[in-house]
Copies of this chain bind each other. A is one copy, B any other.
Amino acid sequence: MSSTDPQTARTGRPRSTAADAAILEATRASLVDLGWSKLTMGDVAARAGVAKTTLYRRWAGKNELVVDAVAVLFDELELPDRGSLAADVQGVVLQFAALLERPETRTALMAVVAESTRDDSLRVRIRDSIVDRQKRLVLEGRQRAQRRGELPVEPDAVVADRTADLIFDVIAGAVVHRMLVSAEPVDTDWARQFTLLLLSGLGAGTMERRPGS
């Protein structure tokens, strides 16, 4: 984030807020046109009608800039009530797939993840800006399913969290892997088969410690 800490900055000309928006927009546009590896700071600056110095005053480099530019796209994901847990899961799978069809997300996500394997601060930034924010979808879906009586309420918070993380990794991982690694489409058929597998497993998975209870 280009956090304008109100404590730090006091005097002098304030930073242009219009520039921030223009830069992020330009970054996404450049990402679409050129892809991650050919995107350059100079090109983004030119598209945004801004000097390179202005970019560097706000972001440390390409990685940070792209994470911020792309993060907002993932906030589009929503979980409207589709009536059943299965429908909700299938819906979010297709929604996520649609997001990954867009070139700016498809190329940026993997690239920044790759970069983050060598840069811890970048990894943290990605987790905070992108990944953790989407776990809300799992939590919301579970809560709703529990209200419907489709899922039991897990009393142990630690187990509940662990399970939510697992679900998240399985859903997101499977979709990303199919689309970007296997390079096969995520269509309704696939989503239905995947949902069936997940929910069946889920029934048992959440009952893991049931016998002992």
- A180: chain B residues within 8 A (beta carbon): 113, 116-117
- Contacting pair A181 B113 (CB below 8 A): yes
A114 and B118 contact, CB distance less than 8 A: no
Q: Which residues of B contact A113 (CB under 8 A)?
A: 110, 114, 180-181
Which DSSP category, helix, strand, loop or mixed, fits chain A's interface? Answer: helix
| 18 A–B pairs (Cβ distance < 8 Å), ordered by A | A37-B115, A107-B117, A110-B111, A110-B113, A126-B181, A127-B183, A163-B193, A165-B184, A166-B194, A169-B174, A169-B182, A173-B173, A173-B174, A173-B178, A193-B208, A200-B201, A201-B201, A201-B202
Query: Which residues of A line the B interface, CB within 8 A?
Result: 35-37, 103, 106-107, 109-111, 113-118, 123, 126-127, 131, 162-163, 165-166, 168-170, 172-178, 180-184, 190, 193-194, 196-205, 208
